[in-house]
Structure 1
Amino acid sequence: MSDSTQVLDETALLDRIQAAEGAGRDILDAATREVIGRAPVQDISDVDAAVARAKAAQPGWEARGHDERIALLMKTADAIDANAEALARLLSREQGKPLNGPNARFEVGACSGWLRATAATVLEPQVVVDDGEVHAEMHYRAVGVVGAIGPWNWPMMIGIWQIAPALRMGNTVVVKPSENTPLSVLAMLSVMNDVLPADVLIGVSGDREVGARLAAHPNIDKVMFTGSTATGRKIIESSAGNLARLTLELGGNDAGIVLPGADPKAIAQDLFWGAFINTGQTCAALKRLYVHDSIYNEVVDALKDVVEQTPMGNGLDEKNVLGPLQNKAQFDIVARLVDDARANGGRIVTGGAPASELGELFYQPTLVADVADGVALVDEEQFGPVLPIIRYSDVEEAIASANQLEFGLGASVWGDRDEARKIATRIQSGTVWINSHGGVHPMIPFGGVKGSGYGLEFGVEGLKSVAVPQIING
């Protein structure tokens, strides 16, 4: 642990974390497909060693108390800020998101901001009975060792969503980044570990076998996972063996409902970013849009104007705000769903094909109109730069459509605020935004229902989720 903040360039960050020459696994630039660096490839024995170290360090970390942990987390935020540009450039290359817009620089800034907000969040003991005869309080203590398994779409920011509250409450954390985007996360952990005590925060880089071992490890007390519903179900099965507590943020296929009377031009920009943030690769992005027949064509036209004015390309080019898909598997899903929608009568308003002139994994930002429930693009999560737009005539139809799928992460309603709020209460999702979509705040709890998982993150509820309650009675 060092009291001085080190400022590193991208090369120095990579030198710290990547495997030795001839070892590890090549990680490719999402835009150019050139090698960025070599990710370490660790195995089950490395997981076991990391968990053992974290378990040994946990009592001492908890014993430091809230004030000292808060101070150290504030310093980690300073360290991230000091290295923000190098981290953002590495993230942009590895994940594909451009530097500008709500993308790489935004994500790195969110990491330090979330650390500070989480560190400053107060969780006081709660007096549950005080009637003159009985006095009972509920306190919250560290759960122990947290296994944090992250995704590839917002690898650093979602990593901090898991790490910050866990450390704040006195847990130690073993982080398993996605095998698609390990370098940016390992670089962030390295910067944080310039401040933190040894073995409080440990990264383990490997494949799904490594993640599975971490989730099932007998000395893991809590698992935080963001990823697919299918993998989430496997983690639930693993938790039967170690009785680990779980926070699962799983798949989403968020619906938006545009009410009659909404102003198409006024909402078009926000609708666009609700759907296309991070080139559509966001769990709580707007993924299917239901628009009332009375303004359907106007909404389609207004969105088309925004899409066609938004620059896409290599993320290191300062003018771009949309980038490539992060990996070939996801690119293939997007292409398949658009082709299927076209074959089933969908009208390609704009886009609808690979942007091969930009690179292997670029797909044109695409709007598909005149589709309906039952078409794969509507019913499946596309996780890419494509938005299906579905016409409805009765708001009851739209509500039923919004609720029909297994997912329930987020949703949005657009139009008169009072009417929208009434409709919001009838939608089965963890969050419903009014006249916006996808915004998160460190003090506003966030989590899904149904197949989108369970458990809350952020704010006081997020701290409780990485702690165990203890009743002091007397």
Structure 2
Amino acid sequence: MTTTQPHTAPRSTEDGQRTIDIRSPHDGSSLGAVAVSTPADVENAIVSARVAQPEWARTSPAERGATLRRAAAVVRDNVEQLAELNEAETGKPRDEAREGVLAGAGTLEQYAELGPLHRGKTLQGDYGATDFMISQPRGVVAVITPWNDPVAVACGLLGAALVTGNTVVHKPSERCPRTGELLCGLLADVHPDGVLCRLVGDGEVGAALTGDPRIALIAHVGSTAAGRDIAIGAAGTGAKVLLENGGNDPLIVDRDVHPGWAARQAAMGAFANAGQICVSVERVYVHEAVLDPFLRALVDAAADASVPPLVDHQHREQVHDAVMAAVDAGAYRAIGGTLPSGGGSHYPATVLTDCTPSMAVMSEETFGPVAPVRAVRSFDHALAEATDSGYGLAATVLTSSMAHAQQAWRELPVGSVKINAVFGGAPGGAAHPRGRSGEGFGYGPELLEEMTTTKVVHSEPPTL
């Protein structure tokens, strides 16, 4: 996902304390300021987590799971307050924010059940020996989470880390510090002291945390640039990294699908939450045989779309700059692409046509309510251009051809392929992002494997 500067970049008060001013994405009004964690705060959090980790690791998996179930119940009890804060800080619609909170609670419950079932293996060695493999916690985990779905994403990473016996230092996004503060506080209150610690701040605080050699694993969901910096730093400290970075997810519209239905799928994928979803549709390839009716339906869908505000003015400027750069390079604004008047950081649903591969709206993640469309001659043409990307998060294919569907999921170099639905999927799935989009399992039962390290034990009786 894309990230930019916070609502207002951190500033220092007269006493040297850095603060972040939070402004409403709805109308630009001030929501107050929060203090940024100091270097001493970072040090105290890491020390507290290190001190608490051995005892938490010795706690039985069943008890850790029971603690996580209590945490899930507390999150459910505070769903309205969390959703309200999320909407106020990021502009996420209240109903969608509520769904994110409930999804987070559900994820905590899933890991509460899966954690105690996470097991090792016995090995078949000599008759007089015992051989086995056992999973053990890694130690102190740094969790860096984004603003676009702050509760659901955080609950997944925090739940998997905690239930496997790790302790955690969590830095939520500086764009939703109060949402992060409330969530982390709710979870920390049901765990022993030091098991879960929270920091507040921007990239400077994140770099101090992730660059510390006492951190055993870094789990990050955010921008490609930040993920790259984390990976470089981890190469020096030896920390394991789990990264879900940006995506440039393509949508392919085959010639044999209903153009109106395909346009509704494209609109949902590009405009939901103002395009601020990690697996939003970022570029659309449409077979020329259905291009005209598809575009008419997509423009109608954009005109009717209810688009929430972007997270802040800085991000809106980035989105608009990408749109205008495409227009300057020859793209046509079929609808949208203009800056609204008034306060807040609203941006209209935008459809661009006549797009070319060299345009940034086609080659990079825009992370806004923008649907850039490119006409293609054939399915193979669409597939070739869709795969020509350094990103590899997700892709969607709309087709009535089983052969094309089979070809697509086999050849698309992404972690998730969705056939005939831009969103959805069975619970328990997990995938590796590819290329610039990151590495490692960031969700699902496989995340428990990432949060632990495996030890092999060989034991023989002594020779007397």
Q: Greater shift after overlay, 36-45 or 366-375?
A: 36-45
Shift of 1:441: 5.5
Secondary structure of the structure 1 residue equivalent to 2:94: coil
Aligned-partner residue type, residue 356 of structure 1: S
Shift of 1:373: 0.9
Secondary structure of the structure 1 residue equivalent to 2:390: coil
Q: Greater shift after overlay, 302-311 or 359-368?
A: 302-311
Counterpart of 1:8 in structure 2 is: none
Counterpart of 2:37 in structure 1 is: 42
Counterpart of 1:26 in structure 2 is: 21
Q: What is the aligned counterpart of 1:114 among 88, 107, 118? A: 107
Aligned-partner residue type, residue 314 of structure 2: A
**Percent identity over paired residues:** 33
Cα distance between partner residues in 2 of 1:120 and 1:442 = 14
Describe the superposition over 1:12-71 as per-residue Cα deviations: whole angstroms up to 9, x where unpaired: xxxxxxxx9x97432111112222233221122211110000111111112221111111
Secondary structure of the structure 2 residue equivalent to 1:191: helix
Describe the superposition over 1:352-405 as per-residue Cα deviations: whole angstroms up to 9, x where unpaired: 112324x33111111112212111211121111111011101222212211212
Instruction: Output the aligned Cα RMSD.
Output: 2.0
Counterpart of 1:448 in structure 2 is: 433
Distance of aligned partners of 1:114 and 1:28 in 2 relative to their CA distance in 1, 3 Å threshold: same
Query: Counterparts of 1:60-459 in structure 2 under 5 Å?
Result: 60-100=55-95, 103-121=96-114, 123-127=117-121, 129-130=123-124, 136-311=131-306, 322-357=307-342, 359-416=343-400, 418=402, 419-439=404-424, 442-459=427-444
Shift of 1:446: 3.1
Aligned-partner residue type, residue 260 of structure 1: R
Cα distance between partner residues in 1 of 2:380 and 2:427 = 33
1:52 aligns with 2:47: yes
Cα distance between partner residues in 2 of 1:287 and 1:344 = 18
Does the 8 Å contact 1:291/1:392 carry over to 2?
Answer: yes
Describe the superposition over 1:92-140 as per-residue Cα deviations: whole angstroms up to 9, x where unpaired: 010111112xx21111111111111222225443437437758643321
Does the 8 Å contact 1:173/1:202 carry over to 2?
Answer: yes
Q: Which runs of 5+ in 2 are unaligned?
A: 1-12, 460-464
Shift of 1:269: 3.0
Q: Which runs of 5+ in 1 are unaligned?
A: 1-19, 312-321
Describe the superposition over 1:152-187 as per-residue Cα deviations: whole angstroms up to 9, x where unpaired: 222222222221110111111101112222111111
Aligned-partner residue type, residue 300 of structure 2: D
Secondary structure of the structure 1 residue equivalent to 2:71: helix
Does the 8 Å contact 2:253/2:262 carry over to 1?
Answer: no
Q: Greater shift after overlay, 180-189 or 437-446?
A: 437-446
Shift of 1:343: 2.0
TM-score, reference length from structure 1 = 0.88
Does the 8 Å contact 2:69/2:108 carry over to 1?
Answer: yes
Shift of 1:459: 2.2
Cα distance between partner residues in 2 of 1:124 and 1:383 = 36
Does the 8 Å contact 1:144/1:172 carry over to 2?
Answer: yes
TM-score, reference length from structure 2 = 0.90
Cα distance between partner residues in 2 of 1:277 and 1:115 = 25
Aligned-partner residue type, residue 172 of structure 2: P
Aligned-partner residue type, residue 127 of structure 1: K
Aligned-partner residue type, residue 35 of structure 1: S
Cα distance between partner residues in 1 of 2:146 and 2:230 = 14
Aligned-partner residue type, residue 58 of structure 1: Q
Shift of 1:442: 4.9
